Homo-oligomer: A and B are copies of this chain.
Amino acid sequence: MYVVKQLELALRSRLDDIVRSSGITTLQYTALTVLDRHGGRSLAQLARDSFVTPQSVAFLVSNLERQGLVRRDRNPDSRRELIVSLTPAGRELLTLYSGAVNELEQLMTASLSDEETETFRSLLDRCRFDVLQPETHPEQ
């Protein structure tokens, strides 16, 4: 667990260096990449994905909206839901920084063979799955 946290801290620090010049924070940048992967998601879904309250996500998203990087649209099938999605400007910002971010990912796995990298990804994913399982989960 300690090494997972240390790796995440180191990556975060490097990402800060990369994203600094973009005018948005690393947190906001990460939110954009999530929206890029997972099409349009509601505020509540985003909140669950990132283990924070809906209010926190709403604050984050409204800042991105003010900068024209995301849009919020009512889901016509369920009028209470707001679907958050990238605007062209948001997508453009992502492509602008994708090179440096990919370089960082390759730096991380620089000393790993292709096979080891695939193993690593698989192990990370299995661990994440096990930690996410709600068994013995007394909350809420």
Contacts and interface: CB of A to CB of B under 8 A. Distances in A.
Copies of this chain present: 2
Contacts of A111: 126, 129-130
Consensus secondary structure, chain A interface: helix
A1 to B, nearest CB: 5
Given A51-B9, A104-B1, A109 B127 contact: yes
Interface of A: 1-15, 17, 30, 33, 37, 50-51, 101, 104-105, 107-112, 116, 119-121, 123-133, 136-139
13 contacts: A1-B101, A1-B104, A1-B105, A2-B33, A4-B4, A5-B30, A7-B124, A10-B132, A13-B51, A14-B131, A107-B130, A108-B130, A112-B123
